[in-house]
Amino acid sequence: MALIEEGRICIKKNGRDAGSKAAITKVVDSKFVMVVTGIRPKERKCNVSHLEFLPDKIDIKNRAQLAKTLEIEEAKFDKKPAPEKKAKTEKK
């Protein structure tokens, strides 16, 4: 069983997401992976030493399964924040 592979479920040990479930979406190299967590569903780079790997593996392309596993709403995936409006400056 390879631990560092796409679709592997793990638990974050460090950082803002510590204690939450995460799913590996992409393997960058032997030390870094891209993960999606239940707290912050945007894909982020993570050091593998900050992860505790679980025996579970899912299909990461199946958004419904991913949302159910990470216990988040499916609508939150890849939701981009609204762009900030710049205040107009008056010219004199």
Q: Is 91 part of a structural domain of the chain?
A: no
pLDDT averaged over the chain? Answer: 84
Q: Is 86 part of a structural domain of the chain?
A: no
Q: Is 92 part of a structural domain of the chain?
A: no
Output the six-digit token pair for 41: 């569903």
Whether the pLDDT of residue 78 is over 60: the answer is no
CATH assignment at residue 47? 2.30.30.30
Q: Is 58 part of a structural domain of the chain?
A: yes
Q: What is the rounded distance in angstroms from the CA atom of residue 47 to the CA atom of residue 10?
A: 12
Q: Is 3 part of a structural domain of the chain?
A: no
Q: What is the rounded distance in angstroms from the CA atom of residue 5 to the CA atom of residue 15?
A: 21
What domain range includes position 48?
8-76
Domain total of the chain? 1
Residue 47, number of CB atoms within 10 A of its CB: 12
State what percent of residues in the chain have pLDDT above 90.
51
Structure confidence by residue, pLDDT tens digits, 43-75: 999 999 999 999 999 998 888 888 888 887 765
Q: Is 31 part of a structural domain of the chain?
A: yes
Q: Is 1 part of a structural domain of the chain?
A: no
What are the C-alpha distances in Å from 77 to residues 3, 29, 45?
A: 24, 24, 16
Q: Is 62 part of a structural domain of the chain?
A: yes
